[in-house]
Amino acid sequence: MLFHSYEFLLGFLPLAWGVFLLLKRQGLGRAASCWLLLASLCFYGWWNPVFLLLILASIGGNYLFGRLLALDLPMRMLQLWTALLYNLGILGYFKYAGFLQQVFDQISGETHEPLAIILPLAISFYTFQQISYIVDTWRTKAPERDFVNYCLFIVFFPHLIAGPITHHSKIIPQFSSFYDRNLPLIDYAVGFSLLIIGLFKKVGIADNVGGYFVGTYGLLANGTSLSFYESWSVMTACALQIYFDYSGYADMAAGIGLLFGVRMPLNFFSPYKATSPAEFWRRWNITLMTFLRSYVYFPLGGSRYGRLRKYFASMSVMLVCGIWHGAGWNYIIWGALVGSILIVNSLWDEFLQPTPPPVSTLRRRIAGRGLAFVCYVIPLTIFMFPTLEMGWAMLRGMLGFNGFALPINLLPRFGEFGVWLQQIGVTFAAAPASKGFPMMATLAVALAVLYLCPNTEQLFAAYKPTQNNIDKKLLTESVWRPTWRPSLKWAVALGGMAAVSFMLMFQIREFFYFQF
C-alpha cells in the first residue's frame, strides 16, 4: 500500500489512527500498541500477504538472537556472526541470488534458467535495522525484552516501506507514549501539515518532473543520441524526481509518525544546498549514511589508522551503499564512482584547501553547490539505467560528445533572441528527449523550490518535527524564510496543496524505493 493512494489516505490511515486514539483515550496503552502492530502487519501484507511469513521469521529470529546474546554464553562472537549471516543470507537470497547466477553464467559459460524470485517489500530497510539491533545488543548486552515493542520497531508502518532506517534506541522508548492519554494538539496539526506537504512533493512535483525522464529509457534503448542540452535536462529532471519523491515520502512518514506520538529521525536536509560532495552525502539519506558510518566505516578503522585506511573505509562505505541499492554492476560502479569523488574531496580538504578556509560568499556558495550537483548527477547516469550501455550513452551526451545543439522547438519561443543566437553560431536541431518550453519551465520552478525555499525541518523548526542534531545556523540558511504557525493562512495554503494532490493521485506512480 502506498502513502499517495486513496485507499491509504481515505481508508487505512483514518481507521488505524481512529481506533488507536480511541484505545489511548480509554487508557489502554497496551491495546493501542497491539492494534498498531496489527495495522502495520496488514499494511505490509496488502501488496503480497505471503511475505508476512518472511518478515515475521526475520523479526522472530532476531528477537531470539538478541535474547541469546544477552545471556553472555560462551562463544558470543560466533552467535553474533550467526545472527549476521541469518540476516544477510535472507537479504542475499532475495536480492542478489539472481545477479550472482548471471555472473556465474558469464564466468563459466553455462546457461541456467533465471531464478524467479520476487523481491519482498522493504527487505533492505528492515534488514539493516535488525543488523544494528543485533550488533548493539552484542556490544551492550541489553536487548529489548518486550516482543510487541520490538515488532513495532521493525514494522511500524510510517517508516516500513520508505524509511528512514530507524535505530532501536531512538524509536522503541517512544512507544511508551502510547500509555499517555493525550498528545499535544499541536503535534497533530504539525503531523497533518507534514503529510500534506510530503504528498504534494510526491504527486505534485516528483511525478510531474519525473515524466520528462521516463521516456529516455526507450530512446537510449533504440540507440538515439542525446545532445548536451538534452542529456543535462533529462538528468536534472531525474535528480529532482528522486529528491522530491524520496524526501516527500520522508515528510509523510514524519507526519504520520507524529499522529501516533512518534518522532522519526531526520532523513533529508536540503542536500542540493550542500557546497561539497562530502556535505551532500551528509545531508542525503541521513539515516542510511549514519548506519554505514557506524557499522561499516568505524569498524574498518575510519580515520584512526592513517589516510590509506580512511580512504579504504570511505570507498567500502559507498560500495556497500551501492550494493544495498540493488543487484547489478551499475550499482557497484556507481558506488565506486561516488567513493572516488569523496576521496578526492577529502584530499582537497587535507592538502589543497587554504588554511583557514576562505570566507563563504554568495559566489563561492553558488560554485560549491554547482560542483556538488554535478558530482551527484554524473554517477547517477550509471545508477539509473538498467544497462551500462545506456548509462554510458547518457554520460557521453552530458560530456558533449553528441554536440551542443539546442532543441528546435525552443526557437519559436525565443523570438528575436533565437535569431541572435543563430547569428553568433548557436545551432538548433531536433531533440526527441526535450519537451521544449514546458520542460524548461517545470525544471526552473522545481529548482527554485529546491534552492530558494526552506525545507520542512526549517519550516517547522519551532515544533521539532523530527529527531535531529542539525546546527542552528543551518536552520536559517534558506533565502526565503517563512515559518509555519497554526493560522488561517497556512490552513488555506495546505488545503489547496491537499486538493491539488488529491486530484493528481488518479495517475499513481509508484514510490521510487517501492519493493526495495
Asked if residue 81 and residue 208 are part of one domain, the reply reads no
Q: Are residues 429 and 396 in the same domain?
A: yes
pLDDT number for residue 514: 55
Lowest mean pLDDT among 242-246, 289-293, 347-351, 424-428: 424-428
Q: What's residue 327's pLDDT?
A: 86
- Whether the CA torsion 58, 61, 64, 66 is positive or negative: it is negative
Residue 429 has φ and ψ, to the nearest 5°, of -150, 170
* Residue in 4, 159, 167, 325 annotated catalytic: 325
Q: Report which of 259, 272, 63, 50 is spatially closest to residue 152, judged by C-alpha positions.
A: 63
**pLDDT value at position 460?**
93
Asked if 344 and 374 touch (Cβ cutoff 8 Å), the reply is no
Q: 261 and 146 in one domain?
A: no
Predicted confidence at residue 510, as pLDDT, reads: 62
- What is the rounded radius of gyration, in angstroms, for the C-alpha atoms of the chain? 24
What mean pLDDT do residues 83-110 have?
89
437 pLDDT higher than 80: no
Name the grid cell of 331: 550499482
Q: Is 301 left (phi over 0), alpha (psi -120 to 50) or beta?
A: left
* Domain-ending residue, one of 164, 182, 200: 182
Whether the CB-CB separation of 204 and 501 falls below 8 Å is answered with yes
- Tell me what percent of the chain is helix, strand and coil, each rounded to the nearest 5: 70, 0, 30
* Tally of structural domains, the chain: 2
Do 176 and 193 lie in one domain? The reply is no
Range of weakest confidence among 59-63, 206-210, 294-298: 206-210
Residue 199 and residue 97 share a domain: no
Confidence grade of residue 29 (pLDDT, cut at 50, 70, 90)? confident
| Co-location of 170 and 232 in the same domain | no
Cβ partners under 8 Å of residue 71, min gap 6: none
The residue to which cell 529546491 is assigned: 450
Let me know whether 70 and 206 are in one domain.
no
pLDDT band at 439 (very low <50, low <70, confident <90, very high): confident
Cell of 466: 523530527
* Residue 222 and residue 141 share a domain: no
Q: What mean pLDDT do residues 124-130 have? A: 94
Q: Give the pLDDT confidence score for residue 140 in this predicted structure.
A: 84
pTM: 0.91
Per DSSP, helices labelled H in 305-436 are 307-325, 329-347, 362-384, 388-398, 411-414, 416-423
* Residue 280 in domain: no
Other Cβ atoms closer than 10 A to 451 = 15
Burial class (CB in 10 A: 0-12, 13-18, 19+), 455: buried
Give how far the C-alpha of residue 505 lies from the chain's centroid of Cα atoms, to the nearest Å.
Answer: 21
- In a domain? residue 376: yes
CA–CA gap between residue 327 and residue 126 (Å, rounded): 17
Q: Give me the amino acid identity at 341.
A: I
Final residue of a structural domain among 182, 215, 239: 182
In the predicted model, what is the mean pLDDT of residues 158-167?
88
Q: Which residues pair with 407 in a beta bridge?
A: 429
Tens-digit pLDDT profile for residues 209-227: 888 888 888 888 888 888 8
Domain-embedded: residue 331: no
The Cα 232–Cα 403 span in angstroms is: 12
Q: Does 508 have pLDDT greater than 90?
A: no
**What's the pLDDT at 511?**
55
Residues 391, 395, 401, 403: what is their CA dihedral angle, to the nearest 10 degrees?
A: 100
Residue 103 resides in a domain: yes
The pLDDT assigned to 210 comes to 85
Question: Does residue 299 belong to any structural domain of this protein?
Answer: no
Q: What is the average pLDDT score of the chain?
A: 88
- Residues 245 and 365 grouped into a single domain: yes
SS3 467: strand
Q: What is the 3-state secondary structure (H, E, C) of 45-60?
A: HCCCCCHHHHHHHHHH
Q: Where residue 304 falls among pLDDT bands split at 50, 70, 90? A: confident
Question: Which pLDDT belongs to residue 214?
Answer: 80
Q: Which three cell numbers stand for residue 503?
A: 486530484
Lowest mean pLDDT among 36-50, 117-131, 215-229: 215-229
SS3 5: coil
Q: How far is CA 12 from the centre of its chain?
A: 24
Nearest CA to 153 out of 133, 180, 182, 134 is that of 133
Phi-psi region of 289 (alpha: psi -120 to 50; beta: other; left: phi over 0): alpha
Residues 40 and 152: their CA atoms lie apart, in Å, by: 8
Is there a domain that residue 350 lies in?
no
Per-residue pLDDT tens over the stretch 235-273 = 999 999 999 999 999 999 999 999 999 999 999 999 999
Residues 156 and 201 in one domain: no
Residue with cell string 557521453: 396
pLDDT average, residue stretch 49-66: 94
Question: How many residues are given for the chain?
Answer: 516
Residue 167 falls in the annotated catalytic set: no
Mean pLDDT over 63-70 rounds to: 92
- Give residue 240's pLDDT: 94
Q: Which structural domain, as residue segments, surrounds residue 261? A: 187-275+360-504
pLDDT score of 269: 93
Residue 360 per-residue DSSP state: P
Q: Are 23 and 35 in contact (CB under 8 A)?
A: yes
* pLDDT average, residue stretch 181-190: 86
Tell me, what's the pLDDT at 171? Answer: 92
| Model confidence pLDDT, tens digit, residues 377-418 | 999 999 998 888 999 999 999 998 888 787 777 777 777 787
Query: Do both 165 and 198 map to the same domain?
Result: no
- List pLDDT tens digits, range 472-493: 777 777 777 888 999 999 999 9
The neighbouring-strand residues paired with 265 are 467
Beta bridge partners of 428: 406
The answer as to whether 80 is a domain residue is yes
Nearest C-alpha neighbor of 171 from the set 148, 152, 191: 152
pLDDT average, residue stretch 139-159: 91
265 assigned to some structural domain: yes
**Residue 506 in grid coordinates:** 488518479
For residue 509, pLDDT over 70 is answered with: no
- What is the structure's pLDDT at 215? 80
Q: Which of 142-156, 168-182, 299-313 has the lowest mean pLDDT?
A: 168-182
Among 160, 182, 204, the domain boundary falls at: 182
pLDDT of residue 515: 53
Could you tell me if 382 and 330 are in contact, meaning their C-beta atoms sit under 8 angstroms apart? yes
Residues 265 and 219 in one domain: yes
- Residue by residue, DSSP assigns 74-118 as S-HHHHHHHHHHHHHHHHHHHHHHHHHHHHHHHHH----PPP--P
Residue 265 in 3-state DSSP? strand
Q: What share of the chain has pLDDT > 70, as a percent?
A: 97
Distances (CA, A) of 392 to 40, 210, 225: 42, 20, 11
Q: Which of 147, 132, 153, 145 is nearest to 87 (CA)?
A: 132
At 12 the pLDDT is 96
Is the confidence at residue 191, as pLDDT, over 80? yes
